[in-house]
Structure 1
Amino acid sequence: MAPHSEGETWGGHHESLELTSRDDAQDANLLTGRVVNRGKYQVSNLLGHVIPSTLRYTSYRRAPSPSRRRPRFCGRSLARSCVSLSYITLVIVILYSITGFIFFPNYSTLPPQYEALREQATSSNAPGSGNPKQQKVFIASNLYDPHGQLADGPWADNVLRLIHLLGPDNTYLSIYENDSGDVGSDAMDRLRAKTPCNNTLVVEDHLDRSGLPKITLVDGRKRVKRITYLAEVRNKALEPLADAETIFDKVLFLNDVYFDPVEILQLIFATNDGNYRAACAVDFINPFKFYDTFASRDLGGYSMGVPFFPWFSRGGDPRTHDDVIQGKDAVRVRSCWGGMVSFDATFFQPSDEKIAPITASEISPANLSAPYRFRAEEDTYWEASECCLIHADIQSPDHEQSGIFMNPFVRVGYTPRTHAWLGFTKRFEALYTPVHYLVDIIAGFPHHNARREEEPWSEVDEVVWVIDESLEEGGSFQQVTRLASHSAFCGHRALSVMNEEYSGEVDIDSYEKIPLPSGGLPS
């Protein structure tokens, strides 16, 4: 049926209005309550093809009632304005992202020495092709692998590839695995058979905790601190160093992460031209989110910001934040881990061939000296990552340069999918910077640490938990005078202990977070 023309029907008879002039047309439209602007109507027909239907402005409006005038801004026009604003914002964000992705990619152009190392490593299949100076590297790792997916999968393949690039004669592989069962043990046996370098691959049915130091909880239970357990496991992987005849140049600690073996070479040999006490990768739990915030501190000892680029809060030490923004390969930090970290091996084994490092033992009663090992804090209600504490122990006393760096060119993921996406997502991560700055302010990052500004080995007043079995809660928080620690920047007031009935990977089910005693802290 053909559409009706502008007209009305009375008594079943159709009568068309013949529009012979502009005045007649306006009169006719007044009968239907419409005022037509012919020019706008024609333009809107053209724009209707390119503007989403929700944003199209109707080309006519009802004539206002003589008795009542509508408000200037009604609900419908406000809704249209909101939709229009959202559409415009979306277009701007998309254009902004595309511009950043194409013209301002972040950490995507490798420094010349990184490119040269990759070319050298990949241009030849000879053992040691990725080790220009034929340095000696000790690789240490801890595994929990009940399904054998690590020792029998891509992780092991990449480790073997790394050994080939370093050269089997230059490499020692030490893996400590516990509580993984028969499947994990069998997978380790197969990896051992394929490993071309000297190695110590240990699988224990269960890690005996009876010899580990314990603390007393308010209910009288004696438990092992979670960090004490983790430090012991990491030290198990370092045990072969105690009797090693080889003097190693680097110690590489490697988590159960997915990585590019050539990037590990860049971490070891190219970070700050190989001159460091420790150099860390950057690890991701998904393509956008930085993972290991517990172990990472900026050059001023401040905790991290929100866990996406640039990771470090502008409200902390701006030197670290600015190093990331400027795209440096050696971002100055006090501590990091990032899924893998390369250490100067001097700190982990005695060596007469190198100058002894400056240690805390020279200026304090801490008795810290090489060979260093992982440890936990002794305070009951003070928690710090063993991965942060080892950096606190080995760092330079120079406040301007710790000798510890994080390298954002080297990235690892905890799943294959995450690792595969990292090359793409980093191209536009610089666009997050203003959002990161605002969210940090709103969320109050970095978190406050009352002990961060303490001068190591100076006399300070601190609130600590003092054991007193005569009290119902087994002790109380008291203010005591003592020497400040060199590692206080790593910690915060908390406590996690191992569940005695649980064995295996140290995940959320393996430990218990203990709340502060009801007495609270003194004012």
Structure 2
Amino acid sequence: MSTTLLPTHNGPDERLSIDSQELHELYETKLQSEQSFPARVSHGVSSLFQRFPSLRYPRRHDYTALDSTSTSTSIPTRRYYRHLRRIPYYLSVFISILIALAAITFTFFPSYTYPPEHYISLRNRVLNTDPNSKLSGRGNVHNEKIFIAASLYDPTGELARGHWSSSVLELITLLGEENVFLSIYENDSGEEGEASLADLDARIPCNKSIVYEHLDLDSLPTITTPDGAERVKRITYLAETRNRALEPLDDPEIMSGTRFDKLLYLNDIAFDPLDALQLLFSTNVNAKGKAQYRAACAVDFINPFKFYDTYATRDLEGYSMGVPFFPWFSDSGDARSREDVLAGKDAVPVKSCWGGMVAFDAKFFQHQGNTTDIETSEVRGKGMDTAGQSPPARFRALNDTDLFWDASECCLIHADIQPPPTHPETSSPSSSSSSSPETKFTPAPIPETGIYMNPFVRVAYDPYTLSWLATTRRFEKLYSLIHNIVNHLVGMPWFNARREELPGETYYDTVFVPAKEEGGVGSFESRERVGRHDGFCGRSGLQVVVPREGGKGWWTVPRPVGVVQ
């Protein structure tokens, strides 16, 4: 085969684009004469599109509108500008695909929109238009006794006069006035808050304890911060206010021997009373149709997409949360909690949760008739750490050797009412494989805690956000892939060195020890510590109460340089 040499020029600036095109056509003619018929057809089609760009693009664009003296080296530049100008087209295609996926998911594959049959049965019982259905207690199928508790900070009076109070009053009617005890504790909200709470008190039809008072910070335990100041930990303060809403349970005269089946704790949330019923009576029902759990939590949102209560929530293995949108949990470990959310289950097993509204088995919060329990309650009532003692359970703060190790009181309460962690066990090999020289042991499945998060039940921190939750949940399945990617990019869940600690084991920490004398400089020391059952709740950090006009403020104490994370 002969070799065809193309003419050359002295330099790229002397080789015009039109000359290059003529030489290219000469070379193509020579090449086609040496090729087979199919190959010639292919080259012919290619040449046709090159000579007539309008055949390739429906709309004609002047991609060759360059300087007439441009050389053949400008062809890549032309192609670059051609693709650059098509970016809006590519972007519109991408957006169209996203809209189509959202529409299909919204219509045919919505998340947590079609609940199990027993949810529908309870809803129909409540919403039935039959006049008899308006009777008090129509939402409480088994006439269970419910203790409702709330600790409020309401300086404007909006909660006691608005959506929150209306929902609570309707919930009492659905449960039956004779079945409910309502306890509300409010402190230091100002004149407007006190007046609105008094108005609500007059409208409550059930047994109740409505308390408004000033909470003296000097009555609470303190810690010494690195600057030598005595401060009350934020969690100590929050635990105390929550416990004061539970104080009627400690008063035999108020209770008069009443035993409650469920305890419902409410934050300052916007919620649907029917959802509260579903949380109480539909979560993890047994064969007899009764809800069975130690605790069952709603899912709370600070806006239509963002999950709020990440501080108190841990998955079944004690991992903290992923980025705060659906499906909320990361894929760390066995990822049981995440998988159950993606499967649309109504009782997602976790180690702790809160979600703005949580239902407890009330037996953990009631006295069992001995003085030891009463003494325990009095100690916990000051937010002090008495973990591991017998009921009644109360909210508490940590009293740790590491000043900068803290945990939410809403997580610690769950740690206290579930079985403590034990050493991992392995399953015994079967008899059929015992003769094998390579006997395999498989880890035992992670035990459930009896604590569940119920994604069918959702609450918000304002009525506007609540109104959007039924819509945004319909296409949230689309988030799962990007959620997992972002988790890995940002390194979530955050590392917790104590997540797998076991009670009774010995551990050593390097901690900051404040100076004993005022104004002194603290030091770093190695301290021995006995493992506890609540290590999964902890995280690095410290917040203290800073009194201010109009309420309590929080201040994050800076970590001294050298403190081990």
Q: In which range does the TM-score fall when normalised by the shorter chain?
A: 0.7 to 0.9
Task: Check 1:207–1:106 CA distance in 2 against 1; reply closer, same or farther (3 A cut).
Answer: same
Task: Check 1:63–1:417 CA distance in 2 against 1; reply closer, same or farther (3 A cut).
Answer: closer
Aligned counterpart in structure 2 of residue 376 of structure 1, from 370, 375, 397: 397
User: Matched residue of 2:337: which SS?
Assistant: helix
Q: Distance in 1 between matches of 2:334 and 2:518?
A: 42
Q: Which digits, 9 at most, give the CA deviation of each residue in 1:367-416, with x for residues without a partner? A: 51101100001122111100000001111347511110000000001111
Partner of 1:19: none
Partner of 2:157: 148
Does the 8 A contact of 2:150 with 2:266 survive in 1?
yes
Q: Which amino acid aligns with 1:271?
A: T
User: Matched residue of 1:391: which SS?
Assistant: helix
1:348 paired to 2:369: no
User: Matched residue of 2:501: which SS?
Assistant: coil
1:498 paired to 2:545: yes
Q: Distance in 2 between matches of 1:486 and 1:421?
A: 38
Partner of 1:327: 344
Q: Which digits, 9 at most, give the CA deviation of each residue in 1:252-272, with x for residues without a partner? A: 000111111011100001100
Shift of 1:293: 0.4
Task: Check 1:88–1:240 CA distance in 2 against 1; reply closer, same or farther (3 A cut).
Answer: same
1:521 paired to 2:564: yes
Q: Which amino acid aligns with 1:288?
A: F
Q: Which amino acid aligns with 1:475?
A: G
1:209 paired to 2:209: no
Q: Distance in 1 between matches of 2:63 and 2:480?
A: 45
Shift of 1:511: 0.9
Partner of 2:313: 296
Output the TM-score relative to the length of structure 2: 0.78
Q: Which amino acid aligns with 2:412?
A: L
* Stretches of structure 1 lacking an aligned partner (at least 5 in a row): 1-34, 48-55, 360-364
1:266 paired to 2:278: yes
* Stretches of structure 2 lacking an aligned partner (at least 5 in a row): 1-47, 286-290, 377-385, 422-445
User: Matched residue of 1:287: which SS?
Assistant: coil
Q: Distance in 2 between matches of 1:368 and 1:119?
A: 42
Shift of 1:350: 2.1
User: Matched residue of 1:151: which SS?
Assistant: helix
Partner of 1:311: 328
User: Matched residue of 1:71: which SS?
Assistant: helix
1:218 paired to 2:226: yes
Partner of 2:178: 169
Shift of 1:315: 2.4
User: Matched residue of 2:147: which SS?
Assistant: strand
User: Matched residue of 1:271: which SS?
Assistant: coil
Q: Which amino acid aligns with 1:253?
A: Y
Paired positions, count:
463
Partner of 2:507: 460
Task: Check 1:301–1:134 CA distance in 2 against 1; reply closer, same or farther (3 A cut).
Answer: same
Q: Which amino acid aligns with 1:153?
A: G
Q: How does 1:425-464 map to 2 (within 5 A)?
A: 425-464=472-511
User: Matched residue of 1:307: which SS?
Assistant: coil
Does the 8 A contact of 2:105 with 2:475 survive in 1?
yes
Does the 8 A contact of 2:512 with 2:563 survive in 1?
no
Q: Which digits, 9 at most, give the CA deviation of each residue in 1:426-462, with x for residues without a partner? A: 0000100000000000010000011111112222223
User: Matched residue of 2:547: which SS?
Assistant: coil
Q: Which digits, 9 at most, give the CA deviation of each residue in 1:334-382, with x for residues without a partner? A: 1100010000001100247xxx9xx9xxxxx955110110000112211
Q: Which digits, 9 at most, give the CA deviation of each residue in 1:449-484, with x for residues without a partner? A: 111111122222233333442697553332222210
Q: Distance in 1 between matches of 2:392 and 2:264?
A: 15
Q: How does 1:419-430 map to 2 (within 5 A)?
A: 419-430=466-477
Q: Which amino acid aligns with 1:323?
A: D
Does the 8 A contact of 1:37 with 1:59 survive in 2?
no
Partner of 1:396: 419
Q: Distance in 2 between matches of 1:452 and 1:43?
A: 61
Task: Check 1:129–1:63 CA distance in 2 against 1; reply closer, same or farther (3 A cut).
Answer: closer
Does the 8 A contact of 2:342 with 2:477 survive in 1?
yes
Shift of 1:59: 6.6
Q: Distance in 1 between matches of 2:87 and 2:53?
A: 23
Q: What is the RMSD of the two structures over their aligned residues, measured on CA atoms?
A: 2.5
Task: Check 1:185–1:37 CA distance in 2 against 1; reply closer, same or farther (3 A cut).
Answer: same
Q: Which amino acid aligns with 1:174?
A: S
Partner of 2:523: 476
Q: Distance in 1 between matches of 2:333 and 2:453?
A: 16
Q: Distance in 2 between matches of 1:254 and 1:349?
A: 18
User: Matched residue of 2:399: which SS?
Assistant: coil
Q: How does 1:108-187 map to 2 (within 5 A)?
A: 108-123=113-128, 124-187=133-196
Shift of 1:103: 1.2
Q: Which amino acid aligns with 2:398?
A: E
Does the 8 A contact of 2:182 with 2:209 survive in 1?
yes
Give the stretch that moved more between structures: 484-493 or 68-77: 68-77
